Amino acid sequence: MPQPGPTARHVFVYGTLRRGGSNDISRFSPPPERVGDGEIAGTLFDLGAYPGAVLGGQTRIKGEIYRIAPALEVQLDALEEVKPDGSGEYIRREVVVVVAGRSIGCLVYEIHPARIEGNPVIESGDWMSRA
């Protein structure tokens, strides 16, 4: 598998993009490289077919970190309905995730705050093991 070039970035995925999810990131092309598992500060909301994360706070969200090529980043932005003016379903943010003692800057898709009202919190912070 060819390695991503120097413009490759990392993404933290916490919902349907996780391994085994309905939008499993490994199905995309160019293929991402799995870096490991991690957690970020935030609250995870159950929006039905997918989750939405609100960053910050004392609770944790579990997810996976992948190295992605710029072409894959464009596809993820489209999937998450990111809009340049911040009015899309998700807003692309930057977070630092510690993986195996190493800090990695990652993209993360935060749900637009207007979309969480009335939706339940996933207390475990883990979309893949929600009850």
Decide if 22 contacts 51 (C-beta within 8 A): no
Decide if 20 contacts 128 (C-beta within 8 A): yes
Decide if 85 contacts 21 (C-beta within 8 A): no
The CA distance from 53 to 42, in Å, is 6
Pick the catalytic residue from 64, 80, 81, 110: 80
CA 87 to chain centre: 18
User: Is 80 considered catalytic here?
Assistant: yes
User: What are the beta bridge partners of residue 37?
Assistant: 64
Q: Give the active site residues.
A: 80
